[in-house]
Structure 1
Amino acid sequence: MKYIKPLIISVSALFLLGLVLVIGTYFYIKADLPSVDVLKDVRLQTPMRIYTQDGMLISQYGVKRRIPLKLSEVSPKLIQAVIATEDSRFYDHPGIDPIGMMRALVNLVLTGEKGQGGSTLTMQLARDFFLTRDKHYIRKIREIVIAWHMEQVLTKDEILELYLNKVELGHRAFGFGAAAQVYYGKTVNELTLAQIATIAGLPQAPSVLNPISRPDRAVVRRRIVLLRMLDEGYINQAEFDEAAAAPVSAKRHGAEIELDAPYLADHIYNEMISIYGKEEAETGGYQVFSTVPSNLQIAAQQALQRNLHDYDERHGYHGPIRQLWENSEANKAPSTEEDDEKITGTDPKQWSEQQMSELLADYPTFESLHAAIVVKVNEQDIVVFDKQGQYRTIDWEGLDWARPFINDTKQGPEPKVASDILKAGAFILIRQREDDQHWQLAQYPEASSAFIALDPHNGAAQAVVGGYSFYQSQFNRATQAKRQVGSNIKPFIYSAALDNGYTLASIINDAPITQWEAGTGTAWRPENSPAEYDGPIRLREALTKSKNVVSVRLVRALGVNLVEKHLARFGFNLADIPNDETVSLGSGSHTPLEVVTAMATIANGGFLIQAHFIQRIEDDYGKLLWQVDPAYACDPCDKQAEETDSIAEPTETDVEAMLAAEFGLHQTPVSQQKTKRQAPRVISAENAFLVAEMMRSAVSINGRWENRGTGWRTALLLKREDVAGKTGTTNDVRDTWFSGFTPDLVATAWVGFDDSNRRLGRASANRNLVNKNPEKYNYIGNAMVETEAGAVAAQPAWIRFMQQALDGVPEHQLPMPTDLVTVRIDRNSGKLTSRTDKTSMFEYFVEGSEPQVFVAESEIIDSGDDDTKQAAEEIF
């Protein structure tokens, strides 16, 4: 008894001392314990993902890669692998595993090293959320206390779900959903057993065990995981043997980008940053759905890129990137695969395949362009070696465009044989055409372009392309580039005229103007392009032919200040509108986004809508956080709306606020959204209808060929009656535009050089191209061109986009406003006529403004046969 009593006292004292230490330690670290609310509402740092309207992923932003998963979405085999490897008694202990802790203690006593931590899954989760990986005793005690605390407020399944989503697994992958994508490009349920075992082994040391950086160590670790699964009875011997023998199949995968639309994604990313801040936007797990349908975005990107290649190719070939070797004698290319190896080695100066492969591998290319090296030059084709190590033949159809580029206004002679263009050893670019997949010689377009399309009813973006390649230049010309708009401004000036006593039949004198500037001692002589003058001309016909001097005369008659204020109605910034008569020719500089927003007002019947790019925002589990509430072009918008015919006169501040709030549009929670909001009416329905009518004439042939609109290619290629549009070309052809619309889609295309001092120039006909397909190249291509203009440089991109966007879409037009009437007028004088032949036409007028006087017989001019089909045939 004399030994037992002291032992009992000693044990009791030690127990009390230990209890005091535990209680003291608890209160010491109590401040570090997470609250129940934090544990119940843990927010994972998840990257922002941006989608098209129809759910195609276009980009992902954020340093940490994470794909949050519900426990029910995780493969049972993966759960078994994790539990078997990391914490086989997970469902049996209260967050701390005494057996594991004892094992770690024994290891510490025997080795003197903190090699094993004895951490459960809960303890690992506590460390990852609230602590560091530093191996200090106090950190371990905190880890134990926090783990025990977590087990009190969370279920085992909740803890396991958090762990599966939180744990770091290397290569910026956090959670097993991201790891499956990063290492294998799969979802967790698509992984094989070998792949499951590989990523289940990563939590111990992701930097040195991952199968990309250290495949040898990954194989060893995979075997350990499989052995643990075998020991726990989760797999059988046959499954173990097959998985253990599987080759390493991991490689780095990027985000699951389904559509590469970087200009659109970058614009939305910047919107999110402006709202939430960079850190929150990139880690808050936001899933952002744009307003842009994938099919229209693809159509816009392809149309813009093809159009720039067309412009670039009709101006000539700039030559190879560099010449790798000289004086190569190229024999006929091999005709069989067995002869491929004979291609190299025919010239002692020719590079080896390894040398060529190394150069090609390091050369950056963008979009559809591929680097290649010419190894043989035959009479009508060349053989190239490409980045994939393949020999590819480029035939004459892919070469014949390449006459030499001399400058922007002059091209060299058309090539007759391949050696006129290239020599063996040339380092070049090639591309595969979208329409027929034919390979051809290519080069980076030096000109730039932008394209943007909106829904005119509510301003929802339908396509956004800010240049040839975002990876070449991140400057978004669609939303940021202010360029002179040229004749794209004329519909808005004509709108001002209609608001101030003019009609579509008003006669304006299309005659030269000379205005002496006393201050400069020079004369201002605005000219038509081409410099042809028709004398007295109807307003509709003047816009159809884009008569510059008529636009000047209208501004002079209306007054510059009145025109300025009228243009501001359409959303143009007053500060960017010139306060002189040059405004009539589009000397003001505006972005394509501003232009297309203004055009939407004409398309939708007179309402100023706000362009926006985001449709809705969801959290990382798909819960709707926010949905756009745009104002619509409708009057009234619903049965409860008050009917109004008033026309708002927005101030400069109002207009700037409208355009600045691209994203906002009343960011109302879905539960609070009511009926459609009406956009402000800024011009009357009658005014919008009449301007649209003139713009329909501008894209038509209008009977005889000489009456064609500047955008006549639209009529011949789209073959629709519900399309309206307007070309735009600035002085010296530095900027070219085409804007147009149907009642449900409005779009603007711009082409120019980033260097605004450089002109788009001119190109002579390339007979190699004309002779292949004269109709194709005359309408929308590379041949019968003189000076570049909006109809030649910009309109083809718009047409190609609309061909895709309107395919299968039935025609329809906005109804004619009730205050309009139609009367038959004489085409020449604009007066009333009783004749029903080709000298007359029906014209629209606001009731009460129609002409009251009949044309005299002596004033009637019969221009003869004006059959439209015959007029179109006159093109050739």
Structure 2
Amino acid sequence: MRSDLPDVESLKDLQWQTPLQIYSKDRLLISQFGEKKRIPLTLDEVPQQLIDALLATEDDRFYMHFGVDPIGLGRAVLAKLMGQDKGGASTITMQVARNFFLTREVTYTRKIREIFLSFHIEHLLTKDEILMLYINKIPLGHRSFGFGAAAQVYYGKNLNQLDLAQIAVLAGLPKAPSTLNPIRSPERAKARRSVVLSRMLVSGYITQQQYLLARNAPITGKRHGAEIELSAPYVAEMAHQEVLERYGKDKVYTEGYKVFTTITAKLQTAAEQALVNNLLSYDQRHGYRGPITSIRPQANGSHSDKSLTQPLSHDELDAALDKAVHYQMLEPAVVVALEDKSVSIHLRNNVTATINWDGLSWARPYINDQKQGLPPKATHDILKFGDVILVQKMNDGEYRLAQLPTASAAIVSLSPDDGAIKAAVGGFSFEQSQFNRVTQAKRQVGSNIKPFIYSAALDNGFTLASLVNDAPINQWDKSSGVVWRPKNSPETYVGPLRVRLALAQSKNVIAVRLLKSIGVNETVNHLTKFGFKDSDLPRNESLALGSASLSPLEVATGFAAFANGGFLVKPYLIERIENSNGDIIYQANPALACDPCVDDEQVDESAVPSINTDDFFSSYGNTDTQTLATEDIDTVTAIKQAPRIISAQNAFLITQALNSAIWGADWSAKHGWQGTGWRARTLKRRDLSGKTGTTNEAKDAWFSGFSRRLVTTSWIGFDDPSHVLGRTVYNNNLGKNQTTGNEFGAKSAQPAWIDFMQVALEDIEEESFQPPVDMVSIRIDKETGKLTTKTDNSTEFEYFRYRNVPTEFVIEDTTREILSGGSVESEEELF
């Protein structure tokens, strides 16, 4: 028999099967993955009342017997012989033996093996060690194992936060956890609790007063998930998938790994709020699509006074609310009464509230993406009695009518210094859709591609002062048999325009002319340096207008190269991974964009290293750091330099032009202008650069922008490609501060970017982009880009690489050299 028994020596070096936990950088729990919920405890973390309850209920002579209780065993055998089999006789030690090494089959052989194992366990371990194995191992229902997990599952608290009544409920679970738990059967849980309390009273662990108080307490247990401290479900799933790829599911769900990500609570919360608020704003200005359903549809059609006024029963209300889904800050409610300018609503947990006209007046009917109905004049134009709706509770406590947005969005922010992801939100609600648009959505980028086109132009002889013709293009396309006519948006043209202003104003035809001058293949080759896959970049002139499809994370990573002075950083999310003992088994060691590490004067631009873009984003979290043994962690100290992909001068000049997209404006010039990103001026930060982006038919809208230390990309669009972002008309109910007209990057995507950066920049000191070596600032004529001796408002300073400084001074009668292939008059003939 002894040779057939398992080796209980394994109990001395036990590894608890604990779930995977994902944390923020500031150690807040984001999510937990794993079938078995377990929170291992030490003896000093266990309340004495729980120990007392277990001893009184399961094994009152635990500290006196040698693993088997002869008295209890004799009592059980006698009862069996008398036909009164009531079970029992299993000591805590015997239960440990069964739970670790045996099954629950009811046979004499198993019982004998259990007894022998108990003797061996008692010889090997102390009583306290055996008790802790029991407390941490015992199954207690709803996939909770051990009392630490059970306290969380049934009460959402730590074990030491429970009162006597709750402890007694948990202490009664080992007998039959599936049927005695307070979720499945509150009545049985209450009866079992009384048994536990009675035995505690008889054993002298509690007083009569404590007994009565706990026995009469209500059963409060209900299902709780892990005690999530920070809402970041898309981040959690990104980290979860990366850990699965690294270690495999056999270890991930059992080894108790703790994964610490690079995000922080402040920035992640700000990103989520910015995205959600922007989506709600977009959605609501396009009109109300109606209630989820109605409890009394017949009343809404018949207009019968009786049916309209007959109160809704609690059963009707509860049934309707149970079926409705809660999304983010949107919760279901039922309309129970209507006044002329307000409605009364019933929410879950028997809560009632009122929505006033300020929370209703936005809800003109949605017709389609391009049209809205007339603004409502009264509540009855919007809702009816019995409607099941979604509402949003505002900061002032008032409720507002809402609806689940049909549009989608994403926002991602990362450090340009090393690629650490600071915040990421992949949609309005993980409950609504687990599709992560930060990493999985390849969308046309529109004008967000232009900074990379202009970067290629700067590497091919252009400067920020070069003149390019802003004039219509008519080009015969042999393949399609039609004339290609790319247009500006808005469709205005000003003739010769400097490159800085063209990028700041997002001139489409100039981007096309630059690409034609450089060549499609040369441009594509330049763009792949930023980590973009060759296969995502169409090899035709539509590339200049943003026909490439990229994910928001790829776009943000590309913009990071401008912010950091020309380096390609690799985005990563996991900073480190610890095992259940707190030992670090993985530590990220990202390549750094370290400007001081490189002598810019020695950079050979023709020798820029090639990047394998097919692999670059395939595993964004892989920072070339291997899984390490604990003793090797301290050896990973070598600083790795990110590859330089463009010169510091190129990055600086693009940053300057993108700064003009926000701050540039000149109404005194012949053609007054301001940049497309001017709305970001509300942040009052001069150290910001950014670019809007809108695709053909406004199916996608973007804004990507950065400071020296933070890059953020915001996208909005529809998962359903048949929809466009559309347009809105003025709503007379809402006053002046409303967004109307065609949707595009600055109106639709930039507001989320601004709201997020408003918070993110609080902890980032203003830091201007410093010109690198080989840069000079020279006064030029605004109209021609040539040198000038004037100092009036017809001139301004411009940056140049030393080798590209203009040599010609402006004269009164100027012959402009512009990129047109000829004179302006001959443009129609050439294209």
Specify if TM > 0.5.
yes
422-431 vs 293-302, which moves further: 422-431
Q: 2:553 matched to which residue of 1? A: 593
The answer to whether 1:712 aligns with 2:712 is no
Larger deviation, residues 204-213 vs 568-577 = 204-213
Corresponding position of 1:848? 803
Q: Distance in 1 between matches of 2:692 and 2:198?
A: 72
Residue in structure 2 matched with residue 838 of structure 1 by the alignment: 793
Please tell me whether the aligned partners of residues 299 and 307 of structure 2 are also in contact (alpha carbons under 8 angstroms).
Answer: no
1:345 CA displacement:
7.2
> Aligned with 2:751: secondary structure?
helix
1:624 corresponds, among 584, 587, 595, to: 584
| 1:721 corresponding residue in structure 2 | 686
Contact 2:665 2:675 in 1 (8 A): yes
- Residue identity in the other structure for 2:676: T
Counterpart of 1:78 in structure 2 is 50
Match of 2:642 in 1: 679
Give the number of aligned pairs. 805
- Alpha carbons of 1:835 and 1:572: their partners in 2 closer, same or farther (altered >3 Å)? same
Q: State the match for 1:819 in structure 2.
A: 774
1:209-288 matched pairs, under 5 angstroms: 209-288=180-259
Q: Which residue of the partner structure matches residue 422 of structure 1?
A: 383
Aligned equivalent of 2:38 = 66
Counterpart check, 1:101 vs 2:73: yes
SS in 2 for 1:562: helix
Does residue 503 (structure 1) correspond to residue 474 (structure 2)? The answer is no
- Counterpart of 1:42 in structure 2 is 14
Contact 1:328–1:349 (CA<8 Å) still a contact in 2? no
* Counterparts in 2 of 1:657 and 1:643: CA distance versus 1, 3 Å: farther
Query: Residue 621 of structure 2: which of 656, 663, 674 is its match?
Result: 663
- CA shift in 2, pair 1:834/1:421, >3 Å: same
- The one-letter code of the counterpart of 1:674 is T
**Does structure 2 retain, via aligned residues, the 8 Å contact 1:325–1:349?**
no
8 Å contact kept, 1:635–1:644: no
User: Of 691, 697, 707, which aligns to 2:654?
Assistant: 691
Shift of the 566–860 alpha-carbon distance from structure 1 to 2, 3 Å rule, reads: closer
Q: Is the 8 A contact 1:485 1:586 kept in 2?
A: yes
Contact 2:601 2:774 in 1 (8 A): no
Q: Is 1:806 the equivalent of 2:766?
A: no
| 8 Å Cα contact 2:140/2:177 also seen in 1 | yes
User: Matches of 1:186 and 1:321 in 2, distance apart?
Assistant: 35
Give the structure 2 partner of residue 26 of structure 1: 2
Partner of 1:529: 489
Select the residue among 414, 422, 425 that pairs with 1:465.
Answer: 425
Shift of residue 549, structure 1, vs aligned partner: 0.9
SS of equivalent residue, structure 1 residue 428? strand
Measured against aligned partners, the alpha-carbon deviations of 1:573-594 in whole angstroms (never above 9, x if no partner) come to: 1111111111111111111111
| Distance of 2:225 and 2:362 partners within structure 1 | 37
Alpha-carbon distance between aligned partners in 2 of 1:59 and 1:319, rounded to the nearest angstrom:
34
Secondary structure of 1:848 counterpart: helix
Aligned-partner Cα distance in 1 for 2:204–2:339: 68
160-169 or 411-420, which deviates more = 411-420
The one-letter code sitting in structure 1 at the alignment partner of 2:590 is P
Question: Does the C-alpha gap of structure 1 residues 96 and 575 become closer, same or farther in structure 2, counting only changes over 3 Å?
Answer: same
Does residue 797 (structure 1) correspond to residue 752 (structure 2)? The answer is: yes
Residue pair 1:825, 1:843 contacting (<8 A) in 2 also: yes
Distance change in 2, residues 1:500/1:766 (3 Å): same
Q: What residue number does 1:607 align with?
A: 567
Hey, what's the Cα distance between the residues in 2 that align with 1:643 and 1:227?
84
Q: Is the 8 A contact 2:787 2:810 kept in 1?
A: yes
2:538 aligns to what SS in structure 1? coil
**1:571 maps to amino acid:** G
Residue 383 to residue 521, structure 1, CA distance change in 2 (3 Å) = same
Gaps of 5+ in 1: 1-24, 332-343, 862-876
Question: For 1:257-287, what per-residue CA distance to the aligned partner results, in whole angstroms no more than 9, with x for missing partners?
Answer: 2222211112222222222223422222122
Write the distance in 2 (CA, Å) between the matches of 1:248 and 1:438: 33
Q: Which residue of 1 aligns with 2:177?
A: 206
Preserved contact between residue 441 and residue 550 of structure 2 (Cα < 8 Å): yes
- How far 1:254 moved relative to its partner? 2.1
* Residue 762 (str. 1) matches residue 727 (str. 2): yes
What CA distance in whole angstroms lies between the structure 2 residues aligned with 1:490 and 1:380? 49
Amino acid at match of 1:366: Y
Whichever residue aligns with residue 20 of structure 2, its letter is: M
- Once the two structures are overlaid, the 10-residue window that deviates more, 207-216 or 586-595, is 207-216
Post-superposition Cα deviations, 1:444-468, rounded to whole Å, max 9, x if no partner, equal 2111111111111111111111111
Q: Which residue of 2 aligns with 1:446?
A: 406
Aligned partner of 1:293 in structure 2 is 264
Whether the aligned pair in 1 keeps the contact of 2:262 and 2:575 (CA below 8 Å) is yes
Secondary structure in 2 aligned to 1:299?
helix
Tell me which amino acid in the other structure corresponds to 2:641: Q
Q: Secondary structure at the match of 1:765?
A: coil
- How far apart, CA to CA, are the structure 2 residues paired with 1:284 and 1:104? 39
- The 8 Å contact of residues 689 and 706 in structure 2, kept in 1 or not, is answered as yes
Q: Name the SS of the counterpart of 1:660 in structure 2.
A: coil
Other structure's SS at 1:699 match: helix
Q: What is the CA distance between 1:325 and its match in structure 2?
A: 4.6
Q: Is the 8 A contact 1:826 1:860 kept in 2?
A: no
Which of 469, 480, 503 is equivalent to 2:440? 480
User: Is the Cα–Cα contact under 8 Å of residues 67 and 178 in structure 1 kept in the other structure?
Assistant: yes
Given the superposition, is the C-alpha separation of residues 564 and 194 from structure 1 closer, same or farther in structure 2, using an over 3 Å criterion? same
Question: What is the CA RMSD across the aligned residues, in angstroms?
Answer: 2.7
The one-letter amino acid paired with 1:444 is L
Which deviates more from structure 2 when the two are superposed, residues 458-467 or residues 378-387? Answer: 378-387
Are the counterparts in 2 of residues 326 and 424 from structure 1 also a CA contact under 8 Å? no
Per the alignment, in what secondary structure is the counterpart of residue 807 of structure 1? helix
CA contact (8 A) 1:68 1:620 kept: no
Per the alignment, residue 129 of structure 1 pairs with: 100
CA drift at 1:109? 3.2
Q: Percent identity?
A: 50
- Name the structure 1 match of 2:820: none
Match of 2:321 in 1: 360
Contact 1:646/1:681 (<8 A) preserved: no
Q: Which runs of 5+ in 2 are unaligned?
A: 817-831
User: What displacement does 1:833 show?
Assistant: 1.6
Mapped to 2, the partners of 1:701 and 1:249 lie a distance apart of 62
Instruction: Mark the CA change 1:602 to 1:253 in structure 2 (over 3 Å): closer, same or farther.
Output: same
* Partners of 2:709 and 2:764 within 8 A in 1: no
C-alpha distance in 1 between matches for 2:412 and 2:145? 37
Give the CA deviation at 1:737: 0.7
State the structure with more CA Rg.
1
Q: Could you tell me which of 405, 409, 420 is aligned with 2:366? A: 405
TM-score in terms of structure 1 length: 0.87
Range with bigger deviation, 191-200 or 474-483: 191-200
Structure-2 separation of matches of 1:136 and 1:587? 71
The residue aligned with 1:394 is: 355
Q: Give TM-score scaled by structure 2 length.
A: 0.91
* Paired position in structure 2 for 1:737: 702
Does 2:721 correspond to 1:749?
Answer: no
Where 1:203 maps in the other structure, the secondary structure is helix
Alpha carbons of 1:221 and 1:395: their partners in 2 closer, same or farther (altered >3 Å)?
A: closer
Aligned partners of 1:356, 1:219: CA distance in 2, in Å?
29
Tell me which residue corresponds to 1:15.
none
Is the 1:609–1:631 contact (alpha carbons within 8 Å) kept by the matching residues of 2?
A: yes
Q: Distance in 2 between matches of 1:223 and 1:95?
A: 27
Looking at structure 1, the residues matched to 163 and 489 of structure 2 have their Cα atoms a distance apart, in angstroms, of 68
Letter in 2 for 1:505: A
Task: Tell me by how many angstroms 1:850 deviates.
Answer: 1.3
**1:413 Cα shift?**
2.3
Cα deviation, residue 46, structure 1: 1.4
Q: Among residues 126, 147, 157, which one is paired with 1:155 in the alignment?
A: 126
Instruction: Provide, for residues 55-111 of structure 1, a one-character-per-residue CA deviation record: whole Å limited to 9, x for no partner.
Output: 222222222211111122111222232233323333344433333333333333333
Q: Report if the CA contact (8 A) 2:504-2:664 is conserved.
A: no
